[in-house]
Amino acid sequence: MTYAYEKLHDFTFQLLCKIGCPPDQAKTASDVLLSADLRGVDSHGVARLSGYVRLWQKGRINPTPNIKITYETPSTAVVDGDGGLGLVVAPFAMKVAMEKAEKVGTGWVSVKNSNHYGIAGYHSMMALEKDMIGISLTNASPLVAPTFSQERLLGTNPISVAIPAKNQPPFVADMATTTAANGKLEILQRKGMDTPTGWVQDKTGLPTTSANGVKDGGALLPLGGDREHGSHKGYALGSVVDILSAVLSGANYGPWVPPFVAFLDPDPNPVGEGIGHFFGAMRVDAFRPADEFKSHMDNWITRFRNAKPTPGNDKVLIPGDPERELEAIRIKEGIPLLDPVVKDLTELGEKFGVKF
Amino acid sequence: MTYAYEKLHDFTFQLLCKIGCPPDQAKTASDVLLSADLRGVDSHGVARLSGYVRLWQKGRINPTPNIKITYETPSTAVVDGDGGLGLVVAPFAMKVAMEKAEKVGTGWVSVKNSNHYGIAGYHSMMALEKDMIGISLTNASPLVAPTFSQERLLGTNPISVAIPAKNQPPFVADMATTTAANGKLEILQRKGMDTPTGWVQDKTGLPTTSANGVKDGGALLPLGGDREHGSHKGYALGSVVDILSAVLSGANYGPWVPPFVAFLDPDPNPVGEGIGHFFGAMRVDAFRPADEFKSHMDNWITRFRNAKPTPGNDKVLIPGDPERELEAIRIKEGIPLLDPVVKDLTELGEKFGVKF
C-alpha cells in the first residue's frame, strides 16, 4: 500500500501543529521527516512521527523552542536548540553555517540541546543550491559498541557530505558509521532471518548473527565489524562525530546521549544538554571558481560511473544515486508504508483529531 | 636490528640535503618521515626514502619549491606545492590553516601540485599545541576499487583527526579508508600467508584472500570489504577525501593521481597538478572555553577507556593509544628496520656519500 507524499506531508504538518508547533516550524519538520521516506530511509521518516509525539508527551520535546546562537566567531557558532525538534533545530543551524560561509568562505556550527534530526542528508543538501559543500553529523542514543567494548557507548552517528556538480546530479554521501543501520536489523527480524557477520555482537560481547542481538542487550558494530576488518576505523569515525557534535557544543556525548524512545529515561546525571549535531558549509568558490569546480565534479562522477563493473553487477554507483532514483519513483508512485506503521499513524491521528 | 631515532633522522636529513633540499626543509621532511617510524607506520617512514629519491631523479620532485598561497578567503586557502616534497608542502599548508583559525575560528586549506606527504597524523597533530582540532586528508595513487568496480580508481585516501584533551593524551585518529593498508599485505606476502576476507579483490573483480592480489592486478577494497558489510561507506569516505583534496584545489583526482613509484609514469593527460591534500584547523575556543572542552574530553576518554572489554580483550583503546605507546618505546629502544630496508638505505647512502 502506498501513500501520496502530499498526503503524508499534510498529515505530519497538521499533527505537529496539534502538539503546539508554530506552522512554519511544523512545515520545516514535515519537509525533513518526509524527505527520509522519499529517499528510502524509511526508519527515519513518518514511521517515527509517533515516537516524536511520545517524547513531547513526556515533556522531552519543546514545541515552541527559542533556538539561538549562544557563541560565535566569524566562521563558527554554537546553537542552543532549546529542547526543540531536531527537525527544526538542524535547518536553523545549517542556515547559520551557510551565512557564515557566505561571508568568510566556510561556516561551522555545533549544536546542543536538540533532539533527533531526521536524515543527515537533508541538512547537508541544503548547501547545494548555494554552490557550497554541506556537511552534517549528529550523535544518537548509544547502541554501538566500540572495538573491544562490551558496552554500548556510541550512537550510529551518521556522516553526510553533499557536493555540487554541474550537469551531473550532486554527490551525496549519507551513512551511519556502523556496518549496518538498526533499520536493517528490523527488516531481518520480521523475515526471521540472520544477519551477515560483522553487524552485531551479543550482550556478552561476542559476535552473533542474530537479528535480535541488539534487542537482547547486545550492540551494533562499528563499520568494519571486527578489528581484523577495520572496526577500529568505524569506531574512530563514530567518535569524531560524537565529539564534534557534543563535546564541542556542550551536549550529551557517548553513553549519556538521551534515548530516542520515550519509555527509557535520560541519564539522571547528564554531562550536557540534549543531543548534539555538527554542520559545515564551504563555498566552493572560496577555493576555485565554482564553474571550474563543478565541471571537474562532472568529470569525476562520469569517470567513476562508467568504470568497468565487477562480475554480476551492472554499474558503479555514485553516492546519492540510489536515494535520488528512489525519490523520483516515490514522488510519482507514492510512499509504501508497512501495516504496523499505518495502524500506528491511524491511531495517532484519532488521538489528535487529524484524519490519516 | 634497531636504529636510534637520531641516527635515522640525521641520515635522512643529510640525504635530503644532498638532493638539493634547503636545510630547513630537509629538517621538516625528516621530522615528518621519521614520525611514521616512531608511531609504527613503518611503510610510510624511512623505508620510503629511496622512493622519494627515485622520484627526484625522474624530475618529479622539486627540491627547492616555491610553495605559495594562490587563492584565499578569511577561512580558506589553496596552496600550490610547486612539485615539492609533500613532507614539506603539508606542514606549510597546515600552518596556513592554523593561522586562519587563529583569526576567524577555523582554517581550511586545499593543496595541489604536491607529492606523498608521509603519515596523515603528523599534520593533524600540529594543531594540538594550539588547542585546535586538526584534520588532515590526502589522496594517493589509485590502488582501491570502489564498490562494484573492477577498476582501481581511488587511493587509500587517509583521514586523520586530532583532538586535544586536558590531562589525558589527545585523541588521534589516523586511518586509511580501506579495510587494510597496503603495508599489511606486504607483511602477509613475506610470511606466505593469506589475507582475511574483505581486504582485496583480484584482477577480474572477484574477492580473493591472496596477499598478492593487488600486485597481480587486483585492488584493495574500501573499508567494509563488500556491499553487505558496508564497503559503499568506505568508498564514499575515500571519495570525499579525493574531492576535498584534489577537485577543490586543482590537483589530480581518482585514477589520474600520479603513482608514487618512479617506474610508473603519470598519466600523459592529467586533470590537475600533482597530488592533493586537505587540511583543517578549528580553535576549540571558537565554540566553548578551551578548558571546559578539554575537561569534557578527559571525561569522554576516561569513560571509553574504562568500558568493560569483550571476552579475550584487555581494554578498550582510544584512537592514538597504540601509536603513542609504540613511540615511547621506539624513542628509547630504537626503530626496527627489516633487512631489505637496511640494504636499500646502505646503498642509497653509498650513492650519495652519506654513511648509513
Please check whether residue A330 lies inside any domain of the structure.
no
Cell of B205: 573483480
pTM: 0.98
Assign B182 a pLDDT band (cuts: 50, 70, 90).
confident
Within this chain, do residues B153 and B253 fall inside the same structural domain, yes or no? yes
Q: Which long-range contacts (CB under 8 A, 24 or more apart) does B347-351 make?
A: B347/B50, B348/B15, B348/B49, B348/B50, B348/B53, B349/B11, B349/B15
Within this chain, do residues A51 and A131 fall inside the same structural domain, yes or no? no
When divided into structural domains, chain B yields a total of: 3
Q: Helix (H, G, I), strand (E, B), or coil: what is residue A5? A: helix
Please check whether residue B246 lies inside any domain of the structure.
yes
Q: Are the beta carbons of B149 and A308 separated by less than 8 Å? A: yes
Within this chain, do residues A242 and A212 fall inside the same structural domain, yes or no? no
| B280: nearest Cα among B96, B144, B130, B145 | B96
For the CA atoms of B193, B195, B196, B199, the dihedral, rounded to the nearest 10 degrees, stands at 180
Q: Which of the 8 DSSP states describes residue A319? A: T
Question: What pLDDT does B270 receive?
Answer: 98
Chain B closest-CA separation from residue A205 CA (Å):
5
Residue A182 has pLDDT above 90, yes or no: no
The phi and psi torsions of A164 (rounded to 5 degrees) equal -75, 150
What percentage of chain B reaches a pLDDT higher than 90?
A: 97
What are the CA-CA distances from residue A115 to residues A71, A212, B129 (Å)? 20, 26, 34
Within this chain, do residues B149 and B253 fall inside the same structural domain, yes or no? yes
CB of B221 less than 8 A from some CB of A: no
Chain A closest-CA separation from residue B311 CA (Å):
7
Output the CA torsion sign for B37, B154, B86, B136: negative
Q: Residue B217 and residue B203: Cα distance in Å, rounded? A: 5
> pLDDT digits over B299-344, tens only?
999 999 999 999 999 999 999 999 999 999 999 999 999 999 999 9
Q: Residue B349 and residue B347: Cα distance in Å, rounded? A: 5
Q: Helix (H, G, I), strand (E, B), or coil: what is residue B118? A: coil
Please check whether residue B116 lies inside any domain of the structure.
yes
Distance spanning both ends of chain B, measured CA to CA = 14
Cell of B300: 569522554
Domain range holding A5? 1-64+337-356
- Chain B residue numbers touching A173 (CB-CB < 8 A): 233, 236-237, 239-240
CB of B78 less than 8 A from some CB of A: yes
- Tell me the sheet residues that pair with A166: none
Query: For residue B152, what are the contacts with CB-CB under 8 A and spacing of at least 6?
Result: B142, B143, B144, B145, B219, B255
Q: Which of the 8 DSSP states describes residue B76? A: E
Q: Which of the 8 DSSP states describes residue B178? A: B
HSE (side-chain half, CA atoms, 13 Å) at A142: 22
Question: What value does the mean pLDDT take over residues A6-18?
Answer: 98
> pLDDT digits over B100-141, tens only?
999 999 999 999 999 999 999 999 999 999 999 999 999 999
> pLDDT digits over B276-285, tens only?
999 999 999 9
CB of A296 less than 8 A from some CB of B: yes
CATH of the domain at B202: 3.30.60.50
Q: Which residue has the cell 596523515?
A: B120
ipTM: 0.98
CB of B312 less than 8 A from some CB of A: no
Question: What pLDDT does B183 receive?
Answer: 84
CB of B143 less than 8 A from some CB of A: no
Q: Residue A175 and residue B231: Cα distance in Å, rounded? A: 11
Residue B186 has pLDDT above 90, yes or no: no
Question: What pLDDT does A143 receive?
Answer: 97
- Chain A residue numbers touching B110 (CB-CB < 8 A): 287
- Tell me the sheet residues that pair with A282: A106, A133
Within this chain, do residues A27 and A144 fall inside the same structural domain, yes or no? no
Within this chain, do residues B7 and B136 fall inside the same structural domain, yes or no? no
- Tell me the sheet residues that pair with B163: B171
Q: Residue A347 and residue A344: Cα distance in Å, rounded? A: 5
More reliable by pLDDT, A191 or A139: A139
Out of A194, A220, A246, a domain closes at A220
Residue A129 has pLDDT above 90, yes or no: yes
Within this chain, do residues B29 and B76 fall inside the same structural domain, yes or no? no
Q: Residue A16 and residue A65: Cα distance in Å, rounded? A: 14
Are the C-beta atoms of residues A134 and A172 closer than 8 Å to each other? no
Assign A183 a pLDDT band (cuts: 50, 70, 90).
confident
**Phi-psi group of A102: left, alpha or beta (phi > 0 → left; psi -120 to 50 → alpha; rest → beta):** alpha
Within this chain, do residues A143 and A202 fall inside the same structural domain, yes or no? no
Provide the pairing of β-strand B171-175 with B200-201: unpaired
> pLDDT digits over B90-102, tens only?
999 999 999 999 9
Largest CA distance in chain A: 55
Query: For residue A29, what are the contacts with CB-CB under 8 A and spacing of at least 6?
Result: A12, A16, A21, A85, A87, A88
Q: Helix (H, G, I), strand (E, B), or coil: what is residue A161? A: strand
Chain B, residues 21-50, CB within 8 A of chain A, namely: none
Query: For residue B298, what are the contacts with CB-CB under 8 A and spacing of at least 6?
Result: B165, B166, B167, B168
Please check whether residue B315 lies inside any domain of the structure.
yes
> pLDDT digits over A304-345, tens only?
999 999 999 999 999 999 999 999 999 999 999 999 999 999
What are the CA-CA distances from residue B310 to residues A179, B70, B307, B314 (Å)? 18, 51, 9, 8
| B139: nearest Cα among B176, B100, B165 | B176
Question: What value does the mean pLDDT take over residues A190-202?
Answer: 95
CB of A331 less than 8 A from some CB of B: no
CATH of the domain at B106: 3.30.1370.60
Within this chain, do residues A118 and A211 fall inside the same structural domain, yes or no? no
The count of CB pairs under 8 A between chains A and B is: 262
Please check whether residue B351 lies inside any domain of the structure.
yes
| B251: nearest Cα among B93, B135, B28 | B93
- Tell me the sheet residues that pair with B335: B3
Q: Helix (H, G, I), strand (E, B), or coil: what is residue B144? A: strand
Within this chain, do residues A157 and A191 fall inside the same structural domain, yes or no? no
Within this chain, do residues B148 and B267 fall inside the same structural domain, yes or no? yes
CATH of the domain at B356: 1.10.1530.10
Are the C-beta atoms of residues B171 and B301 closer than 8 Å to each other? yes
Question: What pLDDT does B129 receive?
Answer: 97
> pLDDT digits over B205-251, tens only?
999 999 999 999 999 999 999 999 999 999 999 999 999 999 999 99
Q: Residue A148 and residue B312: Cα distance in Å, rounded? A: 9
| A264: nearest Cα among A351, A142, A94 | A142
